[in-house]
Chain A
Amino acid sequence: MPTAVASEPDTQVPARPVPAPPARRRTADGRWGGVFLAPWLLGLVLLTLGPMAASLYFSFTDFGLLGSPHWVGGKNYAELLTDDPTYLQSIKVTLVYVGLSVPLKLAIALLVAMVLNTKLRGLSFYRAVFYLPSLLGASVAVAIMWRQLFTGDGVVNRFLAVLGIDAPSWVSNPDYSIYTLVALAAWQFGTPMLIFLAGLQQIPRTLLEAASVDGAGTVSRFFRVTLPLLTPILFFNLVMQVIGSFQAFSQAYVVGDGQGGPAESTLVYSLYLYKAAFVEFKMGYASAIAWVFLLGIAALTAVNFLFSRYWVFYDDEH
């Protein structure tokens, strides 16, 4: 016979305490849980944490792939930060790349998402087509194609010639080569666009209608209603894109002809890391580069989260 619950007829969902399983069964459950977790745990330790620990150790040695590593203390880090102009160049290239491609990509993604969030004939066709380049991902094939588009007699220049513009070879000019990579990143705006679209559909129509009734135009509706409500999505996209762009590698590898060329103008951070490790076989040094990278991205993401308090708006906040 129910006791306490029956005496409170107003309660809609009767709070019936779930009986705790006997202690013996709980430990058995835990054991089986451990068994099922084991493959993943094994992978994590052997394939992720182990190599990370090894690379941390190597970063303090002069390991050169062959031979045994010798402890050199902080020498790699000191050399990296004070005595390596190529390293500084790679940081500069990476910052330019991230600083340009992320805002550009997000702006295009948001703009297209806004347009594709309206009633429109052929809507699903447009959505599919605008996402298509992102399906190809950062593959080598795409990068080769991109390089071809922007060479001296590539398609882009042929098109510009029709307009009467005599353009240089974009990929082999150190002043412009990085911008072809930025353009490639901007071209693949599909993923943030999809996330923006989902976010836009979460915005209650009533708020936009109320703003219209109050006399707000398209522009102020966007800046006063849509954008504030979209800031959590924008923040998510920003964090993901910043991290992703810092890791750009294959595009730069192909467009820069495996060298980050011309004149180190496309030598992004990961590419320099790769060259140090697998071209010059300076494993210890490359490990140090990787760890500075990890700390740098982590610090930047932390700053990103810190600043988010001032501009990201969560609806459930008070």
Chain B
Amino acid sequence: MTKLRIGFIPLADATALLVAVDKGFCAAEDLEVELVREVSWSNIRDKLNIGLFDAAHLIAPVAIASSLGLGHVKVPIIAPFGLGVNGNAITVSPPLYRAIKEAAAGDLSDPMVTARALARVVTERKRRGDEPLTFGMTFPFSTHNYHLRFWMAAGGVDPDEDVRLVVLPPPYMVESLQNKHVDAFCVGAPWNSVAVDLGIGHILHFVSEIFARAAEKYLGVRQGWAEENPDVVLRLVRAHRRAAAFVEQEQNHEEVAALLAPPNRIGVAPEVIRRTLDGRLKVSPEGVYRSDPDYLLVGRNASARPDPRQAAWLYAQMVRWRQAPLSAEMLAAAKAVCRPDLYDAALPEKEPAAAEPADGIGAFAGPAFDPNDIAAHLATWPAHA
């Protein structure tokens, strides 16, 4: 048995990892995994970087930032497996929901309609001299940060000037909305559902409505460690691929939800986790449900195969929001985080890449994303309109 320590944050997109360990898929690959539940992405990053963890459930932009040395020491991280695509949602307080609804010209499920409505709400608040709206997200280098920014900026809201974006640990999101410290947040499951169940939030959008595919979490390992342990990496990928296939079988959803519910795993009721796995979420306290089969992808439709185009898109957001300079070297280093070659090498059968969306991202607005031309993306989407 090869002994490994793997860190995770209690979120629904850690499912493939938790199932790989708890259902014995890792043991079948002769891997004895100790799972360590963590409380912050900073801890996950630091413990992976200094070798206290062999691998980690890692939010995709943190893997890229670590490889580029942004905001912290430079430690190259690679992702041979994608734990989740999509899975986030934007939740707003009931008063903000009403304001957006009143200002909206069209269908509220259309992100452009809501983004433009938000712009009107922001203008009106400025006119009245109200405090700017505050949006919670999970980390400076987070999908949540970039998803919120992309959406609101497309409607004409400047995320740095018109609203406040603040970091909040996921377990604090709900109480912050309740205490009115934030007016909205973007976070992964199960926290959006928890807010809706408490009657204090409306899910405005699934992120899958904003992007057809958005890389969310990676199974991250240090590049140096992967080079020293090539065989272990392949076994990890195989165990996770089998676990992901198990998770994606609908008849297993009940068992998986029960497996994830205990306090040492995710720590919420199985029924709430079940909604995420089924892609059918209660979006308003009045009991309105919305379904999207692509709400969270755990391996289905080639979603576990790391896609360098996704890494390029995330790097483009870092440049757009002035967290990173634009350089060909950095773009190459960001793409190199994703290792579809290792994924392919681990699996006996090749998985065809998903045909849709053609650019791998499928954003609700703007031209197709070209991973080799970040400058074109930035020209379409300047930081300040």
Instruction: Tell whether A and B belong to one assembly.
Output: no
